[in-house]
Amino acid sequence: MTTTTYNEAVACVPRAGTLYDVLELILDRGMVIDIFVRVSLVGIEIIKIDARIVIASVDTYLRFAEICNRLDLNQDQSSRTVPDLFAGLPSSVAAGGAKKAARSVGGKVKDAIGMGDDEEDDDEDEREDEREDEREQAEEPRRRRTSATSASGARSGSRTRARRTREA
């Protein structure tokens, strides 16, 4: 039910879909009857902020700059500085070239605003109610497996891998 497939161009979210794609509709649209009361939305603000925080940070700027600088080198094959600069980069990036690196940035952004924050939300619940969390894990193993790269990556292997690559 929560499977979301991304391709290069369009992401189609089937049925109930990923929560963040429709969160503001469930919370801010739909019928309201004045005389009804509303359950507490405490915690929702945190979820909302987590969801889109990736855009426009200095971190993003620096990644763009990195891409640009590599693009420049790629176009100017004769530059004598190429070997020097590539020597300092992770081998996978150097091999893949700028285009691949650019795509991977897009991928990271998607992870962070989609799958990644799903997991963040789970973390919220875990902190509050560990007992229920066990059942939740048992129920939703697929989502957990697919969200390997997350903002809170400590649980997955991605951070460890990244460190190793940098050292290499």
Partner 1 sequence: MSTSRLYVYGIVHADRVLPPGTSGVGRPAALARLLPVGELAAVVSDVPEGLRARRRDLMAHQALLTEVGAEAPVLPMRFGMVAQRASVVEDAVGSAATAHLAALDRLDGRTEMNLKAMTAQSHVEALVRDDADVRRLMATARRQPSYEGNVRLGQAVAEALDRRASESVDEVLPELRALAEGFVRGPDVPGCVLNVSFLVPKAGVGRFRAAVEHLADAYSERLELRLAGPLPCYSFVPQEGTGSGPAGRPVGGRTAEHAPAGS
Q: What is the DSSP string of 95-150?
A: HHHHHHHHHHHHHHHHHHHTHHHHHHHHHHHHHH-HHHHHHHHHH-HHHHHH--S-
Q: Which of residues 68-107 bind partner 1 (CB under 8 A)?
A: 68-69, 71-72, 98-99, 102-103, 105-106
By CB under 8 A, what part of segment 131-150 binds partner 1? 132, 135-136
Could you give the C-alpha distances from 3 to 6, 88, 159, in angstroms and in order?
A: 10, 38, 24
Residues 13-32, interacting with partner 1 (CB under 8 A): 13, 15-19, 21-32
> Can residue 122 be called a binding residue for partner 1 (CB under 8 A)?
yes
- Cα–Cα distance for residue pair 26/4, rounded to 1 Å: 18
Residue 33 engages partner 1 in binding (rule: CB under 8 A): yes
Binding test (CB under 8 A) with partner 1, winner from 3, 91, 95, 125: 125
Of 118 and 150, which CB lies nearer to partner 1 in the complex structure? 118
- Tell whether residue 127 is a contact of partner 1 (CB under 8 A): no
Contact 125, 47 (CB under 8 A): no
CB of 78 to partner 1, least distance (A): 15
Nearer Cβ to partner 1 (17/96): 17
Selected from 3, 5, 67, 163, the binder of partner 1 by CB under 8 A is 67
Q: Closer to partner 1 at the Cβ: 51 or 115?
A: 51
Residues sharing a CB contact under 8 Å with residue 150, sequence separation 6 or more, in sequence order:
111, 112, 115, 116, 117, 119, 120, 156, 158
